[in-house]
Amino acid sequence: MRFRLAAGLVPLFLLASCSQLYYASMEKLGKEKRDILVQRVVEGKKDQEKAKQQLKTTLEAFQELTGFEGGNLEKVYKKLNSSLEDADGRAKTLTDRITSIDKVAGDLFTEWDKEIAGMKNGELRGKSRRILRDTKLRHQQYMQRMRATEKKIAPVLQVFQDQVTFLKHNLNAKAIGSLKNTSAKLDAEVSLLITDIEASIAEADNFIQTLSAS
């Protein structure tokens, strides 16, 4: 049991060591954890924007296919399939970005808390704690918005995937006709998802402002 427990701790130890080495190397370049966090939030905004645009592109490819009136059907199908694969890739990149943002934020808050504990001036210590509390709250709101958007992307992509798989098995005009009702549903779902992504991007701006002001 002790051996299994120790073995399980090794990856965590290595992960922590890698993080410390990364932060140390960034500090030599003049970048503190706060700077890294801001940069990752900015990159997260870009990832969300790319995901939004890819969702639009995928919807357009799907609508193009459901409106097919003749020509190379397989070519149109392949375009949709490729677009869906790109959308899936964007979604996975966004998930990784959210995880990285949360990790740096947690490390920053831990460091911040330790530094506050070492302050001798009670008044300044109290102000710093309030700033930290407010920043944590803003981060929590940002993460909740990001996670909520992330969870909504997967079901929409699954609907697309089901349609693409069905078309792969039934690549003919009759099969395309059966998908036309799905087009309107997907249009509505993608529109709502894009609205959520835009709200998440706005929340990112608010969080960046909080970090810059604190």
Q: Is 186 found in the same domain as 83?
A: yes
| SS3 label, residue 71 | coil
Nearest CA among 50, 26, 65 for reference residue 172: 65
Q: Is 151 found in the same domain as 74?
A: yes
Q: Is 208 found in the same domain as 196?
A: yes
Q: Is 197 found in the same domain as 180?
A: yes
Note the pLDDT tens digit of each residue in 16-71: 567 888 888 888 888 999 999 999 999 999 999 999 999 999 999 888 888 776 66
Take residue 38 and report the two structure tokens written for it: 């801001």
Q: Is 115 found in the same domain as 14?
A: no
Take residue 24 and report the two structure tokens written for it: 């140390």
Note the pLDDT tens digit of each residue in 74-132: 887 888 899 999 999 999 999 999 999 999 999 999 999 999 999 999 999 999 999 99
Q: Which domain holds residue 7?
A: 1-31
pTM (two decimals): 0.82
From CA 213, how far away is CA 172, in angstroms rounded? Answer: 58
Q: Is 38 found in the same domain as 23?
A: no
User: What is the domain count for the chain?
Assistant: 2
